[in-house]
Amino acid sequence: MIDVVAEYTEAAPGRTLVESGELVAGSMARTAAGLLFNDGSAKVRLDDALAGWLRRTATTADVDPPALVSSRARCRAGAALAFAAELSVTRAHQGRAVRTDGFLTPGPGDRAPADEVAEAAVLAARDTTEEWRVRHLGYLLAEAAVSSDLDAAVVLRGLRLATDLTGRQWVLLAGVGRRERTPLPMTPVPQDPRGWTAWGALEDLADLQRRGLLDPPPATPRPGGAALPRLRPVDLRLTRRGVLVHRLLALDFVRDPAVAAALADLS
């Protein structure tokens, strides 16, 4: 009996990683593991190429982790892959087909363009201390798998842009992205806030403008010291860079209370 258990444990690298994501992703992680490793317990199926990619990513991340990875970081990696499986089911129900342009197909060295994206996203999930972000890093994988207009280089650029931002900046992008269904405040943001929370939120907002993720760009001083125009949240728009990050991270799924709190920080 011990031999049988040892054989099962040894034969299931990758699955154990995804299941470990339960600490971050909840019980859904075990469902996702069953879906990816096809144990017959799942009521739905993923596209074979997509499931094979996520399974390959999980196995590689499990058997060849970076040195000195903490147990919590391992859980975050597993959770990211569980979230990728979760959104993949949703995208399939929405009729979005998995791409067939070679993105998921291993080539020389048994490595697909998608493998570079998955490795980078899993590393980002391991490294973040704001664990709510893990969901969106996993969602990036699911979105990339159905976005044939985005090659691996563009997806990696979007991921680099995203991982360089604060969590509140993700939430602000989410708020601007849903402006059509949830109107943004019309009250101007403070120009010289006294409270640290408002100051930090304004710094996050100005940084998004400087990075070219939000329009309008930061106001520049006028000749003669004329007063600068007052910026209102309602004036904000996603730039093309902002659209890329918003789309890849599926920021539509950021919860409304989080968006409301980030906007309130600007007041």
Residues 85-120 as b/e (b if ≥16 CB within 10 A, e otherwise) read: bbbbbebbeeeeebbeeebbeeeeeeebbbbebbeb
More confident site: 1 or 61:
61
Compute the average pLDDT of residues 214-230.
76
Q: What is the pLDDT of residue 224?
A: 61
Q: Is residue 1 pLDDT above 50, yes or no?
A: no
Compute the average pLDDT of residues 42-49.
86
Domain-by-domain residue ranges, the chain? 12-152, 169-221+230-265
pLDDT in tens, 158-217: 999 999 999 999 999 999 999 999 999 999 998 888 899 999 999 999 999 999 999 999
Pairwise CA distance, residues 69 & 77, whole Å: 10
What is the pTM assigned to this prediction? 0.91
* 222 three-class SS: coil
Q: What is the pLDDT of residue 64?
A: 82
Residues 154-193 as b/e (b if ≥16 CB within 10 A, e otherwise) read: ebbbbbebbbebbbbbbbbbbbbbbeeeeebeeeebbeeb
Q: What is the pLDDT of residue 40?
A: 67
Look at the chain and count its residues.
267
Q: Is residue 248 pLDDT above 60, yes or no?
A: yes
